[in-house]
Amino acid sequence: LATDKRIDGKAISAQVLSEVAEQVSQLQAQGVQPCLAVVLVGKDPASQVYVKNKLLRAADVGILSVEHYLPEHTSEETLLSLIESLNEDAKVQGILVQLPLPKGIDEIKVLEAIKPIKDVDGFHSSNVGGLSQGRSVLQPCTPSGCMRLLKHVCSDMSGMHAVVVGRSNIVGKPMAALLLQANCTVTLVHSKSRDIQSLCQMADILVAAVGRPEMIKQDWVKPGAIVIDVGINRVEKDGSTRLVGDVDYADVWDSVEAITPVPGGVGPMTIAMLMSNTVEAAQRQHALVSMN
Ligand code: NDP
């Protein structure tokens, strides 16, 4: 496959991270050290890997991190009081609670406890509502990473028909809100939608966030479409495990104008946007302190 229509998430995330490192230096020059608090409850192996990667990336760009590892059987009350203390700690500008939380802890209650201005995942209802109103808020990392990839290949999305497959709170819904903000006509498709293939065929921009390996084939894709594949699916083939997206990359290749690979597409953008959000949170809090 030629590489010219591959949207290189690794390279674009490196650009984002270098911008973030520059912003960190500027904040440090003003006496502010951006700091991200990461809270992990329990020992979920995948969560441990995600947290480790986030901490490494933070260190790379000069963001300080504080880690809070809590045992599996932590009470909701203990977790909420930790969040309360992080909310009050002026040295911490970003708070990330790694999901999923163990059973028995109310995820929504925990996310709602984070001060919206420190909510670097963009999951607090105040940020979710702000996003749907088109206000400038901290945005969820995966969809904002997708927008950054799209802007790389398409400077003006105005009037384009964007179809988003998947309506989760962390990807599909905020993705639709961001595309709407970019003046796309947006169709949000989910498991109850009828004739998903025809809906996908109408897309100038097709975003797949489903979690079904290689569901989207060539005859689902309009010729010349831009395809963003958020899916990360592990599949066993010939005795080994490999990662594939929700789009059959090789099958759609000839039809598309541009497409993200899996891995190396949306994945690296998510962590880069988390770092970007942490710096943005630090800038906003610094501006507030300076005003008072
Ligand atoms: P969820 O399981 O929360 O949501 C999946 C969505 O897809 C749901 O809205 C569901 O519809 C819809 N869906 C399921 N089956 C179909 C179908 N056959 N046709 C149409 N729609 C369908 O997943 P997430 O949004 O959390 O993640 C989606 C994918 O993206 C996963 O592969 C995940 O691993 C990946 N991911 C990647 C990230 C990255 O950094 N690259 C970050 C986050 C996720 P309904 O609501 O009706 O059930």
Q: Give the bridge partners for 40, in sequence order.
A: 69
CA of 85 to the centre of ligand 1 (A): 33
The pLDDT, as a whole number, for residue 3 is: 60
Task: Report how far residue 207's alpha carbon sits from residue 103's, in angstroms, rounded to the nearest whole number.
Answer: 31
Digitized pLDDT (tens) for each residue of the chain, 292 residues in all: 446 899 999 999 999 999 999 999 999 999 999 999 999 999 999 999 999 999 999 999 999 999 999 999 999 999 999 999 999 999 999 999 999 999 999 999 999 999 999 999 999 999 999 999 999 999 999 999 999 999 999 999 999 999 999 999 999 999 999 999 999 999 999 999 999 999 999 999 999 999 999 999 999 999 999 999 999 999 998 899 999 999 999 999 999 999 999 999 999 999 999 999 999 999 999 998 888 7
ipTM score? 0.99
The pLDDT, as a whole number, for residue 292 is: 76
Tokens of 290: 């300076």
- Domains, the chain: 30-125 (3.40.50.10860), 141-269 (3.40.50.720)
Best probe residue, ligand 1, of 49, 230, 275 (max atoms within 8 Å of C-beta): 230
Best probe residue, ligand 1, of 165, 175, 191, 217 (max atoms within 8 Å of C-beta): 191
Residue 147 CA, chain-centre distance (Å), reads 10
CA of 210 to the centre of ligand 1 (A): 3
Q: Which residues contact 150 (CB under 8 A, 6 or more apart)?
A: 157, 182, 205, 226, 228
Q: Give the bridge partners for 207, in sequence order.
A: 164, 228
The pLDDT, as a whole number, for residue 1 is: 44
Token pair 């441990």 is found at 48
- Cis bond upstream, residue 263 (ω within 30): yes
- Compute the radius of gyration of the chain from its Cα atoms: 19
H helices then E strands: how many in the chain? Answer: 10, 10
Q: State whether the Cα torsion 129-120-83-170 is positive or negative.
A: positive
